[in-house]
Amino acid sequence: MIALLDDRSVIALAGADARSLLQGLITNDMEQLSPASALYAALLTPQGKILFDFLIVEGDGAVLLDCPRSRAEAMVRRLTMYRLRARVEIELRPQLKVLAAWQGETLPGISFADPRLPQLGIRSIVAEAETPPGVGQLEPYHAHRRALGVPEGEDFGIDAMFALDGDLEQLHGVSFTKGCYVGQELTARMKHRGTARKRLLAVSAGADLPPAGTAVTAGEKTIGELISVTGRDGFALIRLDRLEETATGVLTAAGVELRLARPTWLFA
C-alpha cells in the first residue's frame, strides 16, 4: 500500500544556520538528525501549546520539513519571523511530494522510517516527476494512522493543547535533554511535576460524530472534548483521571456513543 499524501507540503531550510535555527525553536534535538534517521517535532507557542507538528529529514541540499499543507504557509511565516539574522533561506518547495507506505514496500526519493511509530512504515519525499504511477489516495493512510491512534496536524487543533497532552513525548517528538526551545519551560515543568493529566485519544462511533468542540461525557460528568472529526472517526482530549473514575465506561458526545482507543504505545 503506497499513498500520495497530497495534504502534505514540504518546507526547505537551506543555509549555514538552518540546523541551529531549528535547534533553538523546536521540541526535538536536531543533533539527532542524520541521513539515516529522521525526526518528529513540533513548534510550540511560548505557552507550550502546539502550533505545528512535522517530520524532519535531510536531503535535496536542505533540511526538509514534511508538514500539513493547510498550515504550511503559516509555518513559513512563523519560521521567517524567528530567522532574524540567521543565514538560512526558508521556502515552500511545491515540486516535492510526500509518499507513505506501511506494508513493507520500498519508495523512491528521500526515503526514511517514520520516527513516530514503526507501524506507520516509511515515508519519502520525491520530485513530482518521480512520483511512481498508480499510487493510492491518502485516505487509506489516514485510516491506518487513526487505527493506530496516532494524531497529526489538525487533530491537535491550533494553539489548543500542550505538547505532552498531545502524546508528543510517546511519539518521540520531544527531547528533555537538548536545552531551550520555544515553550520548553512549561513542557519541562509538566514532565517533571507529572501534571499532564490529559491525553489525545482516538475515538469512533457507529454514526457520524458531532462537531469538534463537543463535550465528551460519562454519565453526567464531562471528561473531555472532541478536537477533530472525520466522519465517524476523530480524536478527543480526555482527562485520564476522570476516565478512570467512570462507573459504566460508556462515553457519549451529544448523545452519540463513543468507542475510545487506548493504544499500547501510549499506555505501555
Query: Mean pLDDT over all residues of the chain?
Result: 94
Domains present along the chain, CATH in parentheses: 2-137 (3.30.1360.120), 197-267 (2.40.30.110)
Say if CB 252 and CB 258 are below 8 A apart.
Answer: yes
Residue 26 has pLDDT above 80, yes or no: yes
Q: What is the Cα Rg of the chain in Å? A: 19
| pLDDT (tens digit per residue) in 137-176 | 899 999 999 999 999 999 999 888 999 999 999 999 999 9
Among the listed residues 98, 115, 137, 107, the one whose alpha carbon sits nearest the alpha carbon of residue 36: 115
Among the listed residues 166, 182, 2, 13, the one whose alpha carbon sits nearest the alpha carbon of residue 98: 2
Return the pLDDT at 60: 83
pTM of the model: 0.94
Percent of the chain with pLDDT over 90: 83
Buried-state track 155-174, b at ≥16 Cβ within 10 A, e below 16: bbbeebbbbbbbbbbbbbbb
Return the pLDDT at 212: 96
Mean pLDDT of 13-24: 97
Q: pLDDT tier at 6 (50, 70, 90 boundaries)?
A: very high
- All three cell numbers of 175, joined, read 527531547
Percent of the chain with pLDDT over 70: 99
Mean pLDDT of 45-66: 96
List Cα–Cα distances, 47 to 25, 130, 212, in angstroms. Answer: 13, 41, 23
| pLDDT (tens digit per residue) in 217-261 | 998 899 999 999 999 999 999 999 898 888 677 999 999 999 998
d(CA 189, CA 213): 27
Q: pLDDT tier at 268 (50, 70, 90 boundaries)?
A: low
Mention every residue, 6+ apart, whose C-beta is less than 8 A from residue 27.
41, 42, 43, 44, 163, 168, 173, 174, 175, 181, 183, 184, 187
Return the pLDDT at 36: 84
